[in-house]
Amino acid sequence: QVQLVESGGGSVQAGGSLTLSCQNSGYDFRTYCMGWFRQGPGKEREGVASINNYGITRYPASMNGRFTISRDNTKNTLYLQMNNLKPEDTAMYYCAIKEGDERCVTSDFRAFPYWGQGTQVTVSS
């Protein structure tokens, strides 16, 4: 059973930083794609970053280089380093995984079948 558990969210002031973690287990995919997504109040879920089993990362252009995705396979943990946070980054942040490393992008959250419960990030001005 695939399990994804996010942590590290919290409240910060604009300009601050946070690192989110996603403890993952229960899958045996030879190839995979993991992603971070977020959903703000009244907004649709949007992709933030992705990484595949080869360590190839991709980011939507809208992220403007402030976020960095990484993983530590020895700890079965996915990370999202967020810098220079802005009030518009306020959202519930989720990690997700799908089998296969092809087209490892976050443009369509519906392509990811497994999700964590989310961790809240609130950025105040």
Convert the pLDDT of each residue in 38-82 to its tens digit.
999 999 999 999 999 999 999 998 887 899 999 999 999 999 999
Identity of residue 43:
K
Sign of CA dihedral 83, 118, 103, 51: positive
Both tokens of 91, joined, read 């959202």
Q: Above 80 in pLDDT, residue 36? A: yes
- What's residue 44's pLDDT? 94
Q: 88-104: per-residue pLDDT in tens?
A: 999 999 999 999 888 89
Q: Of 7-11, 28-32, 61-65, 92-96, which range is least confident?
A: 61-65
CA distance readout (Å), 62 to 26, 46, 74, 98:
32, 10, 31, 23
- What's residue 103's pLDDT? 87
